[in-house]
Structure 1
Amino acid sequence: MPTAAGKRIVASQNYLATYVGAKVLEEGGNAFDAAIATSAVLSVVIPHTSGLGGDGLLLAKTPEGIIAFNSTGWAPRGIGDAQIPPRSPRSIVIPGLVELWHMMEDYTTMDLRKLLEPAVKLTVNGFHVGRGLHHAIVNSEKLSPEWQSLYGNKRFGDTIRVRGVGEVLKRIANDPRSFYEGEIAEELVEGLRKKGVPVELDDFKQFRGERVNLVNINYKGYSIQEFPPNTQGITALEILKMVEMTEINKLPYNDVKRINEHVRISALAYEDRDQYIADPRFSPAPNFLLDNNYLIQRLMEVGMEAKVNPDGDTTFFVVADEENQVGMIQSLFQPFGSGIVVKDIVFNNRADNFTEGRNKPEGRKRPLHTLSILYAEGKNEELIIGCAGGDLRPQIHSEVLEYYVDYMMEIDEAVNAPRFMFTGNKVIAESRLGTPSTKLEPYSPQVGIVQALKTKKGVHIAVADPRSEGVSIPV
């Protein structure tokens, strides 16, 4: 089922991953245990979206409060400063997903070997190609000989085995840091260097994830929090602040004027993202990006009036138990990342996100990152919203939240509701929105695949987007 309610619950983009996470909860594991198990299965069965060669973020509400981990990869020290060709060996950054699992172990209750066991079995026994993976394979060019051998000729329903991934999973189950510091790291570095990746063992060995403080705004009675730079989370907050200032959501959600104004607001926020957001260790984002006076000025630049006092691909899933609410997102960036494969692990192409200026390529620097997660709290309820959506993620987060808050839809209705997106040179929209635009299928993954969690009075409602093959399972 795409929507379910319960005291303990999982919703993800894939039915096998959701099932495995629910089994962990059923066997007494907590939300962090189930999150690692779900994450590992997703890494195997939808390898076009994420995996051991990619990275991730985690946001959780726990008894100690909000925790947020950024385990997005940094560039090898030898990356250089020249433009990075798409999907080239220079497009690979150090993968952070396994480090994220390592960071989560402070909150887990079960042995990592048990949590990774279902994913290991799938790598050995095989899994059937789902609809999303089928489309990703068909729409991909031949990325590398190793990729072609694993995926190139597979179609919906075919069986795939990735025993190399299973071997690595079994080895890191004893110590996740061995992925970065032990024999596994040495083997991965050797394999990557043979394919032209300018990586050294120290690039792996010195890599660490970070615990970060979220960025916060208030929106119509809710405290809204997103990941700080190097992610584009602040871009979603800019959109929401300007939406509230202009009061465009007093119009019907499918009103052409409202959609046009929303697109103009999104364009302003994306201009700021491209100019200011980078790895804060190299170029801190300016403090004024969420300042009312600055946003009023930005709106005036495009002839929009603010009604306030001036002073004043990827995969995401949610898991919850009686004490913890977890949202986790993991990614390779483009489908199958760089297409470069070592030990059956497909490596990311996240360095494609480097541009110029503040966000130019530099060694040990994290690129501007499309991953983020939205957390909202207010009116005695909490929401976690995340999605597969790449550059469109700030718009997807803001539209789903606006449907929920401004148009008083329930959380599943807000996820299911028709979306429109500004892509930089055109507006695309699902056909059921009924507005002039480039029309998509009624339920199109091109406007994002969202998973969401609502918690109120100790009960969780989890939603899996009908635009995918995901499900929600309560325990």
Structure 2
Amino acid sequence: MRDFQRPGRSEVFAANGMAATSHPLAAKTCIDILQQGGNAVDAAIAGAVLLGLAEPQSCGIGGDCFVLLKPAGTEEVIALNGSGRAPAGLSADALRARGKTAIGTEDIAAVTIPGAIDALCRLSQDHGRLGLADTLAPAIRYAEEGVPVAPRVAFDWAEAAGRLQGPGQRHYLTAGKAPAVGDLFRSPAHAEALRAIARDGRAGFYEGPVAEDMVATLRAAGGCHTLDDFAATRADYGSPIRGGYAGHEVLEHAPNGQGATALLMLKILSRFDLSRLAPFGAERAHLEAEAAKLAYDARDRFIADPDHTTRLDHMLSDDTANRLAALIDPARAMPSAQAASEAVHRDTVYVTVVDRDRMVVSLIYSTYWSFGSGLASDRYAILMQNRGAGFSLTPGHPNEAGPGKRPMHTIIPGMLARDGRLVMPFGVMGGAYQPTGHTRLITNLLDYGLSPQAAIDAPRCFAGDGVLRVERGYDPAVTAALAEMGHRIEVPDGPLGGAQAIRIDDGRGILIGASDPRKDGCALGY
């Protein structure tokens, strides 16, 4: 039990339904949809699309999503890959011929076709109860009436305002400036696009005026995107990948997402007895940092579009984990093992919903960097993602850019199961941090017995790009000890990620929700 004389938040307890996400209006919308007779899929769609207006720097209908879904009445978990593909005209050879060695985050070549709307329409049709007109109605209303800008959103918006270009500046800035805390953000143009989707489903987005607006904007910026690229977009069903830890099973989305990185980190750390170490001491942070360096190096070598190539079995083998664990010196930091650098960004949203029939949705949704590519469509204000920056331009690399390919993705929804039953959907936002975030949350829960809220609240650190980023929540003596071990310490300018989780307590018939204070949101139930 937490110390009620110190700042903090309690977990949320309810019996009928629960939602947790990074903005309170989205969480409330999820609960409203459940109480109107919708199921967890309907609620998650409603909350996610609203988040594109409540947190436009983090996500939107011009982006991608990944979903893990447990339907009611079964313990089977379904995965849905809602990540878009590169346009058919993208050529790595042509980019290299222009002297490029990487695809920049503002490069028009980084804009991949949005996949989220096809995935959400597919979910609604196959597993929803209410239909798109009802699930999109709250977002349409907020787009017209406005959403007051929340404190964390205002912080991120101001920091990233300079990334907006062309129509993006007109749609998302006021007199060239980001909105302040409490300002109403309206987007009637966005409402028009959502009405087309509510009326015509995926065709309202991937065909007709909305698609024509996106393609015209992209072509004017030098892109090779076509209407055929948009019309061909399809989400794919699959199965999650799984790994054991401390008597539980961790479920992640398969590549092209980076969920396998979290499973490999947990495999490496299982070779050490974390439970004997202080939960927020230097030794535990050091082992996690070293495991991250090794697992992320494997990620950058092996994770790619599975339709083209992947070495997932090798990445997740016991032999690989044993060999990597043997490289860790418990007392000394190794040089960074990452093969490819990736700047830390924190622009993603996560929604989890559990309904009264115990349908469970774990959904993560993003335009990648803050405001995606910075380019918004001229008429409908749709921010275009820059996921193509995740491609490699190294000839022959598994993740080499190419026509119709999906890039390696950072966003990953998660679930935790025990004895064949799902016990907790969860997600941790924060770009490259996410596998480390999954690992820290799981080890906080299973090695140290923390409650979901305490596990989320706890301080975080992240090794990457040759530095160890350490939140201010750590004791200075711990930070000093990590420096003595050889880590180059950096205090990040913002918090590391954000998280939500819902514990399913079947024995008592209740749900226990937790949400990260690093974001504006909350868990709500009824």
**TM-score (structure 2 length as normaliser):** 0.85
Alignment of 1:74-89 (within 5 A): 74-81=85-92, 82=95, 83-89=102-108
- Which residue of 152, 165, 177 maps to 1:144? 165
The one-letter code sitting in structure 2 at the alignment partner of 1:414 is A
Are the counterparts in 1 of residues 283 and 330 from structure 2 also a CA contact under 8 Å? no
Are the counterparts in 2 of residues 243 and 249 from structure 1 also a CA contact under 8 Å? no
Are the counterparts in 1 of residues 495 and 518 from structure 2 also a CA contact under 8 Å? no
Are the counterparts in 2 of residues 2 and 466 from structure 1 also a CA contact under 8 Å? no
* CA shift for structure 1 position 187: 3.0
Query: Which range moved further: 100-109 or 373-382?
Result: 373-382
Alignment of 1:2-17 (within 5 A): 3-6=11-14, 7-17=16-26
In 2, Cα distance between the equivalents of 1:292 and 1:147? 47
Report runs of 4+ in structure 1 exceeding 6 Å deviation.
none
- Which residue of 66, 69, 74 maps to 1:60? 69
In 2, Cα distance between the equivalents of 1:329 and 1:120? 21
Match of 1:433 in 2: 474
| Secondary structure of residue in 1 paired with 2:448 | coil
Query: Is 1:361–2:401 an aligned residue pair?
Result: yes
In 2, Cα distance between the equivalents of 1:12 and 1:201? 33
Structure 1 unaligned regions, length at least 5: 306-312
| Secondary structure of residue in 2 paired with 1:328 | strand
How many pairs align?
466
- Which residue of 458, 474, 477 maps to 1:417? 458
Q: 1:84 to 1:38 in 2, by over 3 A?
A: same
* CA shift for structure 1 position 440: 4.4
In 2, Cα distance between the equivalents of 1:61 and 1:390? 25
Query: Is 1:285–2:326 an aligned residue pair?
Result: no
Match of 1:408 in 2: 449
Query: What percent of counterpart residues are identical?
Result: 28
Match of 2:112 in 1: 93
Q: 1:168 to 1:196 in 2, by over 3 A?
A: same
Are the counterparts in 1 of residues 268 and 324 from structure 2 also a CA contact under 8 Å? no
Match of 1:336 in 2: 371
- Which residue of 333, 338, 349 maps to 2:386? 349
Match of 1:452 in 2: 501
In 2, Cα distance between the equivalents of 1:433 and 1:85? 34
Alignment of 1:165-244 (within 5 A): 165-178=190-203, 179-244=205-270
Alignment of 1:289-304 (within 5 A): 289-303=315-329
The one-letter code sitting in structure 2 at the alignment partner of 1:94 is I
Query: Is 1:126–2:146 an aligned residue pair?
Result: yes
Are the counterparts in 1 of residues 132 and 201 from structure 2 also a CA contact under 8 Å? no
1:328-381 deviations in Å (ceiling 9; x for gaps): 110010110101011211111111111231111101101000011121111666
Q: 1:474 to 1:286 in 2, by over 3 A?
A: closer
- Which residue of 417, 428, 442 maps to 1:387? 428
* CA shift for structure 1 position 150: 2.5
Query: Is 1:325–2:368 an aligned residue pair?
Result: no
The one-letter code sitting in structure 2 at the alignment partner of 1:158 is D
* CA shift for structure 1 position 247: 2.0
- Which residue of 412, 433, 436 maps to 1:372? 412
In 2, Cα distance between the equivalents of 1:232 and 1:346? 23
In 2, Cα distance between the equivalents of 1:84 and 1:75? 12
Are the counterparts in 1 of residues 21 and 27 from structure 2 also a CA contact under 8 Å? yes
The one-letter code sitting in structure 2 at the alignment partner of 1:227 is H
The one-letter code sitting in structure 2 at the alignment partner of 1:107 is H
* CA shift for structure 1 position 234: 0.3
1:37-90 deviations in Å (ceiling 9; x for gaps): 101110111110000110101112222421111101111111221232221211
Are the counterparts in 1 of residues 412 and 427 from structure 2 also a CA contact under 8 Å? yes
In 1, Cα distance between the equivalents of 2:269 and 2:54? 38
- Which residue of 65, 69, 81 maps to 2:80? 69
Match of 1:464 in 2: 515
In 2, Cα distance between the equivalents of 1:209 and 1:454? 28
RMSD over aligned Cα, in angstroms?
A: 1.8
Q: 1:2 to 1:104 in 2, by over 3 A?
A: farther
